[in-house]
């Protein structure tokens, strides 16, 4: 029973991470393509809230449910696929943390452009390119973690 509950919570958390990340990316890209500071300010504000409520919560709960699940099933944490999953989780986090700050900054730059009745400043485009580029390694890491969780390959690391 506990194992089933932990497995469900872990899968739900992984789904929230991937789904929220994909949704955020889609809506930010579409808003940015409009080049309308009002739209971008609104969408970026919503994205910041979504990242705080959904992504951050899942980021905290994933290692907890994963640890509990590994203990309940009897998998050693030194299992190769678990170690690699954790390394990829950290890698995804290293790209996600700056993205959170960038999203806040993009929102603020768009709000400033709206208030000044001005176009988006060049700093917006520079930050947006960094935000966009950070998404690729983060998403690739999460997808690789899904693969590792599903296949549990026999990986010898040490």
Q: What percent of the chain has pLDDT over 70?
A: 99
d(Cα 38, Cα 77) in Å, to the nearest integer?
48
Residues sharing a CB contact under 8 Å with residue 106, sequence separation 6 or more, in sequence order: 28, 40, 44, 124, 127, 128, 131
User: In the predicted model, what is the mean pLDDT of the chain?
Assistant: 96
Residue 156: its pLDDT value, please? 85
d(Cα 144, Cα 137) in Å, to the nearest integer?
10
**Under 8 Å between Cβ of 16 and 54:** yes
d(Cα 139, Cα 26) in Å, to the nearest integer?
13
CA atoms in the 13 A half-sphere facing the CB of 118? 11
d(Cα 95, Cα 145) in Å, to the nearest integer?
15
User: Has residue 16 been placed in a domain?
Assistant: yes
User: Has residue 26 been placed in a domain?
Assistant: yes
pLDDT digits (tens, 9 = 90+) for 57-83: 999 999 999 999 999 999 999 999 999
pLDDT band (50, 70, 90) for residue 86? very high
Domain that holds residue 119: 2-151
User: Has residue 156 been placed in a domain?
Assistant: no
User: Has residue 67 been placed in a domain?
Assistant: yes
Report, in angstroms and rounded to the nearest whole number, the Rg of the chain calculated over CA atoms.
18
Instruction: Indicate the number of domains in the chain.
Output: 1
Q: What is the pTM of this model?
A: 0.91
User: Has residue 158 been placed in a domain?
Assistant: no
User: Has residue 21 been placed in a domain?
Assistant: yes
User: Has residue 119 been placed in a domain?
Assistant: yes
Residue 158: its pLDDT value, please? 67
User: Has residue 157 been placed in a domain?
Assistant: no
pLDDT digits (tens, 9 = 90+) for 126-158: 999 999 999 999 999 999 999 999 999 998 876
In degrees to the nearest 10, what's the CA dihedral of 75, 76, 81, 83?
Answer: 140
């Amino acid at each position: 029973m506990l194992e089933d509950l932990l497995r469900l919570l872990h899968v739900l958390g992984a789904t929230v991470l991937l789904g929220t990340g994909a949704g955020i990316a889609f809506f930010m890209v579409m808003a940015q393509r409009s080049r309308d500071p009002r739209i971008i300010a609104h969408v970026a504000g919503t994205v910041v809230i979504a990242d705080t409520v959904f992504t951050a919560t899942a980021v905290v709960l994933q290692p907890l449910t994963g640890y509990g699940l590994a203990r309940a099933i009897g998998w050693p944490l030194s299992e190769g696929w678990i170690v690699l999953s954790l390394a990829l989780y950290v890698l995804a986090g290293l790209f996600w943390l700056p993205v959170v700050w960038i999203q806040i900054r993009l929102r603020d730059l768009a709000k400033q452009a709206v208030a000044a009745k001005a176009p988006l400043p060049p700093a917006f485009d520079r930050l947006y390119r960094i935000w966009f580029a950070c998404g690729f390694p983060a998403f690739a890491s999460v997808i690789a973690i899904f693969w590792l969780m599903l296949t549990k390959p026999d990986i010898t690391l040490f």
